[in-house]
Amino acid sequence: MAELNKTYDPAAVEDKWYSFWEAEGYFFADETRPGPRFSIVIPPPNITGVLTMGHVLNNSLQDVLVRFKRMDGFVTLWLPGTDHAGIATQNVVEKQLATEGLSRHDLGREEFEKRVWAWKERYGSTILLQLKKLGSSCDWRRERFTMDPGLSQAVREVFVRLYEKGLIYRGQRIIHWCPRCQTALSDEEAITTEGGETGHLWHIRYPAEDGGEGVVVATTRPETMLGDTGVAVHPDDARYRPLIGKRVILPLMERPIPVIADALVDPAFGTGAVKVTPAHDANDFEMGQRHGLAPLVIMGTDGRVNENGGRYAGMDRFAARKQIVADLEARGLLVKADPYRVPVRRCERCNTVIEPYLSEQWFVRMTPLAQPAIAAVRDGELRLYPERWVGVYLHWMENIRDWCISRQLWWGHRIPVWYCEACGERTVARTDPTACAHCGSTRIRQDIDVLDTWFSSWLWPFSTMGWPDDTPTLRRFYPTDALVTAADIIFFWVARMVMAGYEFMGERPFSEVCFNSVVRDLQGRKMSKSLGNSPDPLDVIRDYGADALRFTIISLAPPGEDVRYAVEKTDLGRHFANKIWNAARFVLMNVDTPQVAPLASLTDLSLPDRWILSRLQSVIDDVRAAFTAYRFNDGALALYQFIWHEYCDWYVELVKLPLYGTDVSSKRRVQTVLVHTLEHALRLLHPFMPFVTEEIWQALPAAKTTESIMIAPYPTADAAWRDAAAEAAVAQLIDAVRSVRNIRSELGIPPNTALSVRLAADGRRDQVSFIEPYMKALAKVDGVEVLAAGQRPAGEPSALVEGLGEVFVPLRGVVDPGEVRKRLERDLAKVEKELSGVEAKLSRADFIDKAPADIVDKERRRAATLRERKGTLDRHLAVLSASA
């Protein structure tokens, strides 16, 4: 008989099993194997990434799903890989260069790219190695990288196709410019500060050209006034009607500019009059186009005012702001400066304030691509979980803007466009051209920019499977079934993958998307590297085990709600693993055959046997239903409840009598049910806690058809084992035992003092005879007397057991009721005093309004507990008084 160590040591177990699974090829999805298939692709982590708690949650959920499907008979592919992460990686390598006193320009483009590749070879797989520590069962033979040759070919193919279709164009647009990174960013890379940032709303007077008062405009960025080419008001705004069509003088630049009427202006914002700066604001750019106001760029790519900014030329944008405000004030044109929460965007990579900037960039025309992606979600062909993301998705899709895809970086897929110096035409080609496609000149040069990193990741579900080639993997595993991802990349990635799927494959890329929770600290702040509030998951795995971390984080994560995590909470999973371990040790120590009999051979099952087997069928159904609805935490908690509270707390206790008894057939029967239930529970739990379940499963004396639990079948419920009568009988038994235990503790009767119990269970003698031996064993009761019908003793503490009757615990001869009564009265006085204190606090409006919500909640819970305790004491005292 196998034996388990006294305590569970994850470190000794986890690496061993991971290597075993990998060596056996269990992660490999064989496309030639027949049968149903299930596939998902990993949200590729950046090569600069290290494992965060967000990755832990996301990848644990994916692993639960694929392990479940694999066990459930599907040929299952979980395709892993990494993203080259343009800006992020370039920044990391530039920082490394800086320590050598070098910049990328010192190296030149080619050498710099070599440095980045070298960096990638050395560090780029760090996060994938960490995912292995977590137990992720990815098909590592299919690992891909967004800049490997195959994916680069897919990127090239897509660019050329979209260009030929007229869906890629080069244009002057307002884009988000990072003056530090010196590149354009997409909308999604320009992060809006929640609730804005501290700043001012400056009110500036633009005098009328004819000497009148003119208008007062309100702005948060006064320095951009240098580029104003107009002032706009709402057409229906009566205050300004006389000014429309007239001109005002732009202060400091002393330039006359027109007042125009445009419905885009919000009459309720500021003064209702706004300056129009087409080169430095996206709305103003559109307004300028509608009204023929030419854009005037007044800033360089480094964020300094350029030659169009008059005497402010050469000043940094923020220094210019100060100077301009001072100059306006000196001229009496600054009407006021109100404190204001300014909407600010910052660079996702370096946190520098973004400048809306007019620039020539490459764009993808998104509206036509969005149409099938909108229909798919509308018609339910593609489902999002939780459902509230549908509205968010549709709103973005219906208001989609063109996607700025060029980046002024060196690390990434270089834009496949060549400009001809002879004829000025562009050549866009699948393979690098040597001559102009229009005039044949060899004087061509390639566009120096690279593509947005997401321009490769939006192709991920099919480019990783070999597209544009027609590969067996693609034929077998595309479209994928599910995508499990964080919601913060719904626009960056998810929505764009849907569009790419329909455009290039003619099919949805996945049928269901599960958005996982956000992991926050106990104060509710999102865990992040910059805040330093995230534990290192590898430390947690070392200290608690990967199973404990996986189980805990999943249990804490209801779909659609945030997770509040702190390292100590991992005790939940650790204690659970230990509980199972100890239960398994108990079973192994008490089963004395190398292999137990099959369940079907048993005929004389007891009520507890029938109960636990019936409960097992319920939990199988519950866990399967939880997987289908992407409610993984419900599945985890259902298993926790079943294994801990039903199997360990009750079943194991209930069967100790026959197990330790002398009746050989009862003993065999109980051994069989113990092993059968545990073996099924382990298989159910395997997707959540792969390591501890494998370690125990391997030691169990059960009939097995596979070499590993990870390829054993996932349990299916068998209705034949459903037994409502057994469930009801054991529920009553549990309730009766608990009642006596509660009365004992509420009255302060020592655990070793034997009690006798009287039961008013009209006519349920059969049930009482079932219950009695367990009451004796589990509630330290020396006898159960069944009361005659209608008999109800006075002066004895009691509790109602649903479906059974009332349990009475006589005190005479056991303890001194007078002593108990005095003690309860003292307790009651204490509880009442405490309760009135809490209630007084809760009735004060200043406490309810001012105290933090969690403190108020805590006090409310305290009041409820005290009220309940008071109720119990009142009840017992009433009974004890009746007996006096």
Residue 97 or residue 538: which is nearer to Zn ion going by CB?
97
Contact 277, 253 (CB under 8 A): no
**Residue 264 Cβ vs Zn ion, minimum distance, rounded to whole Å:** 29
Report the site for Zn ion in 161-180 (rule: CB under 5 A). 178, 180
> Which residue, 62 or 406, has its beta carbon nearer to Zn ion?
406
Closest CB to Zn ion among 91 and 671? 91
Contacts to Zn ion from residues 115-154, by CB under 5 A: none
Shortest distance, position 37 Cβ to Zn ion, whole Å: 42
What would the DSSP string read from start to end of 445-470?
Answer: EE-S-EE-THHHHTTHHHHTTTTTS-
| Amino acid of residue 2 | A
Could you tell me if 458 and 493 are in contact, meaning their C-beta atoms sit under 8 angstroms apart? yes
The length of the chain, given as a count of residues: 884
- CA–CA–CA angle 476, 514, 546 (5° rounding): 90
Binding piece for Zn ion, criterion CB under 5 A, among 112-120, 139-147, 424-432, 484-492: 424-432
User: Which one, 357 or 774, has the nearer CB to Zn ion?
Assistant: 357
The least CB distance from residue 191 to Zn ion, in Å, is 11
Residue 350 in the binding site for Zn ion (CB under 5 A): yes
Query: Minimum CB separation from Zn ion for residue 92, in Å?
Result: 13
**Cβ at position 323, least distance to Zn ion in Å:** 25
Q: Using CB under 5 A, which of the segments 299-307, 419-427, 465-473, 754-762 binds Zn ion?
A: 419-427
Residue span binding Zn ion (CB under 5 A) among the ranges 137-145, 181-189, 208-216, 839-847: 181-189
The structure tokens listed for 742 are 């509660």
CB 50 within 8 A of CB 584: no
Stretch that binds Zn ion, among 274-282, 347-355, 545-553, 698-706 (CB under 5 A): 347-355
436, 591, 619, 786: which one binds Zn ion (CB under 5 A): 436
Residue number with CB closer to Zn ion (350 or 800): 350
Can you list the alpha helix ranges (DSSP code H) found in 629-706?
632-640, 652-654, 656-660, 664-685, 690-699
* Smallest gap from residue 491 Cβ to Zn ion (A): 19
Per the omega criterion (within 30 degrees of 0), is the bond before 179 cis? no
Mind giving me the DSSP string for 772-794?
HHHHHHHS-EEEEEEPPTT---S
Positions 81 through 110 that interact with Zn ion (CB under 5 A): none
Of 445 and 765, the one with the shorter C-beta distance to Zn ion is: 445
Which 22-41 residues touch Zn ion, going by CB under 5 A?
A: none
In terms of CB distance, is 407 or 610 closer to Zn ion?
Answer: 407
Q: Among residues 422, 538, 717, 851, which is the contact residue for Zn ion, using CB under 5 A?
A: 422
We find the least distance from the C-beta atom of residue 644 to Zn ion, in angstroms, to be 50
Q: Which is nearer to Zn ion, 190 or 779 (CB)?
A: 190
What φ, ψ does residue 529 adopt, rounded to 5°? -65, -40
Nearer to Zn ion, 64 or 92 (CB): 92
Binders of Zn ion among 769-828, rule CB under 5 A? none
Whole-angstrom Cα distance, residue 546 to residue 692?
A: 10
How, if at all, do strands 383-385 and 512-516 pair? parallel
| DSSP per residue, 332-388 | T-EEEEEEEEE--EEETTT-PBPEEEEEEEEEE--HHHHHHHHHHHHTTSSEEESTT
Q: Among 19, 192, 441, 791, which residue interacts with Zn ion (rule: CB under 5 A)? A: 441
Q: Is 595 helix (H, G, I), strand (E, B) or coil?
A: coil
Residue 50 Cα to chain centre, angstroms: 17
The smaller minimum CB distance to Zn ion, of residues 192 and 836, is found at 192
Would you say 178 or 500 has its CB closer to Zn ion?
Answer: 178
Q: Within 10 A of 880 (CB to CB), how many other CB atoms are there?
A: 21
Looking from the CA of 655 toward its CB, the CA atoms found within 13 Å total 30
Contact criterion met (CB below 8 Å) for 349 and 407: no
Q: Measured from the CB of residue 22, what is the shortest distance to Zn ion in angstroms?
A: 39
Hey, CA dihedral for 547, 550, 553, 554, is it positive or negative?
negative
Choose which of 128, 134, 184, 420 interacts with Zn ion (CB under 5 A).
420
Q: Choose between 177 and 565: whose C-beta lies nearer to Zn ion.
A: 177
**Spatial contact of 515 and 486, defined as CB atoms under 8 Å apart:** yes
Which CB atom, from 286 or from 425, has the smaller least distance to Zn ion?
Answer: 425
The 10 Å Cβ neighbour count of residue 671 is 21
Cβ 492 to Zn ion shortest distance, Å? 16
As measured in angstroms, the least distance from the Cβ of 360 to Zn ion is 20
Candidates 4, 167, 390, 439; binder of Zn ion (CB under 5 A) is: 439
DSSP annotation string for 261-326: E-TTS-TTSTTSEEEE-TTS-HHHHHHHHHHT------B-TTSBB-GGGGGGTT-BHHHHHHHHHH
Q: How far is the CB of 520 from Zn ion (least distance, A)?
A: 26
User: Cβ-count burial of 421 within 10 angstroms (0-12 exposed, 13-18 middle, 19+ buried)?
Assistant: exposed
Residue written as tokens 């590993």?
A: 708
Binding footprint of Zn ion, residue count (CB under 5 A): 15
Smaller CB separation from Zn ion, 163 or 721: 163
Please identify, using beta-carbon distances, which residue of 12 and 350 lies nearer to Zn ion.
350
- Which CB, 352 or 446, lies closer to Zn ion? 352
Tell me which stretch binds Zn ion (CB under 5 A): 32-40, 267-275, 416-424, 603-611: 416-424
Q: Smallest distance, Å, CB 186 to Zn ion?
A: 13
- Number of Cβ within 10 Å of residue 175's Cβ equals 23
d(CA 656, CA 669): 12
Residue 422 vs 835, nearer CB to Zn ion: 422
d(CA 741, CA 769): 19
Specify the residue, 55 or 349, whose C-beta has the smaller distance to Zn ion: 349
Least distance (Å) between residue 348 CB and Zn ion = 8
C-beta of residue 352 within 8 angstroms of C-beta of residue 178: yes
Q: How far is the CB of 178 from Zn ion (least distance, A)?
A: 3
Distance CA 155, CA 457 (A): 9
Give the x/- contact pattern for Zn ion in 601-640, rule: CB under 5 A: ----------------------------------------
147 closest CA partner among 113, 97, 103 = 113
Gap between the Cα atoms of 556 and 57, Å rounded: 10
Strand partners, 358: 174
Task: Please give the torsion angle defined by the CA atoms of residues 875, 876, 882 and 884, in that order, rounded to the nearest 10 degrees.
Answer: -150
Largest CA distance in the chain: 114
Say if residues 422 and 436 touch (Cβ distance below 8 Å). yes
From the list 132-140, 291-299, 345-353, 535-543, the region that binds Zn ion by CB under 5 A is 345-353
Pairing assessment for the beta strands 563-564 and 519-520 based on DSSP bridges: parallel
Part of the chain binding Zn ion (CB under 5 A), chosen from 349-357, 561-569, 725-733, 852-860: 349-357
Residues binding Zn ion (CB under 5 A): 178, 180-181, 347, 349-350, 352, 420, 422-423, 425, 436, 438-439, 441
